[in-house]
């Protein structure tokens, strides 16, 4: 059986993030999991790519459904000022319940984030976990009990620096 590297292979480029301005918008739903993802992204950007902590703005919203609007309004507000963002990371955790709520939110949020990114010209990293149970969410924030646990926030931080540097005008 052929084996392959599951998940993203980091770029070999040594991106310099020292002049990047990053916005992280995260939810307060499933907060302990979200907090671990935010930490993974932030620590990766500062330690691996020299992004300055003072250049990372962090804002929170109630739930994932609010992420696209918050990203849109914060990008718009920043463009009015001198400091606008090179890249945005939207972070949330959706966990399937016993109704269809999960499906509707997941679809709306992914479409909404893509639309805001293309309309604004600012890359937005899709950092919303869409999990079928608690264990899946914990694992993907590096908090589970399984060996396979991995904090996806790390991948999102790397992706943000790559997209931010490429978008840096
Ligand atoms: O971020 C989440 N929001 C959730 N719902 C709230 C939603 O995102 C909005 O905040 C709410 O509908 C108000 O607009 C979730 N669930 O319902 O399960 C969830 O798992 N994660």
Per this entry, what is the length of the chain? 169
DSSP state of 28: S
CA distance 126 to 34: 13
Q: Give the per-residue pLDDT at 119.
A: 97
pLDDT at 26 over 70: yes
Ranked by mean pLDDT, the top range of 11-15, 24-28, 82-86, 141-145 is 24-28
3-state secondary structure at position 88: strand
Does the annotation mark 168 as catalytic? no
* pTM (two decimals): 0.95
The best mutation among 94, 110, 134 to test binding of ligand 1, ranked by most ligand atoms within 8 Å of the C-beta, falls on 94
């Amino acid at each position: 059986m052929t084996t392959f590297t599951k998940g993203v292979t980091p770029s070999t480029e040594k991106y310099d993030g020292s002049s990047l301005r990053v916005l992280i918008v995260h939810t307060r739903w499933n907060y302990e999991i979200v907090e671990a993802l935010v930490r993974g992204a932030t620590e990766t950007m500062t330690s691996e790519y020299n992004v300055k902590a003072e250049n990372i703005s962090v804002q929170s919203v109630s739930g994932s459904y609010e992420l696209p609007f918050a990203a849109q309004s914060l990008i718009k507000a920043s463009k009015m000022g001198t400091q606008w963002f090179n890249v945005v990371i939207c972070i949330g955790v959706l966990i399937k319940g016993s109704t269809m709520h999960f499906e509707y939110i997941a679809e709306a949020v992914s479409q909404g984030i893509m639309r805001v990114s293309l309309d604004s010209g600012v890359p937005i990293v899709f950092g919303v976990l869409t999990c079928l149970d608690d264990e899946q969410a914990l694992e993907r924030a590096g908090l589970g009990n399984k060996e396979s646990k991995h904090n996806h926030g790390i991948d999102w931080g790397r992706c943000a620096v790559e997209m931010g540097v490429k978008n840096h005008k």
